[in-house]
Amino acid sequence: MKVLSCDVCQKVLESPIPDRTYYHMAHREICESCHDKLEFQIKPTVRSKTPFNYDWYLKLVGESIEKAIQKGKFDVKITY
């Protein structure tokens, strides 16, 4: 059985399913809830970027993940 742990919150994921229960981004594995928080955190910045640039986006994702890894979590509260 494949076991993976989230690089940000260290949650252990058993039999992880790519793009469903975990996401591989910026050379990191992140769990679904961290992925949700990441999206929520960067969405306003991504929305304000025109024209959209994919390299810029990947850099933003990478930097946001590295910052979250240092803190051990994404410092956001999702409010929809």
Residue among 34, 20, 27 nearest 74 (CA): 34
* Pairing, β 12-14 against β 22-25: unpaired
What are the beta bridge partners of residue 28?
25
Asked whether position 6 contacts Zn ion by CB under 5 A, the answer is yes
Asked whether position 8 contacts Zn ion by CB under 5 A, the answer is yes
Q: How far is the CB of 5 from Zn ion (least distance, A)?
A: 8
Asked whether position 68 contacts Zn ion by CB under 5 A, the answer is no
* Window 16 to 35, contacts with Zn ion (CB under 5 A): 31, 34
Total of chain residues touching Zn ion, rule CB under 5 A: 6
Site stretch for Zn ion (CB under 5 A), options 11-19, 39-47, 49-57, 63-71: 11-19
44 cis-preceded (ω within 30 degrees of 0):
no
Residue among 40, 34, 44 nearest 66 (CA): 34
Interface with Zn ion (CB under 5 A): 6, 8-9, 11, 31, 34
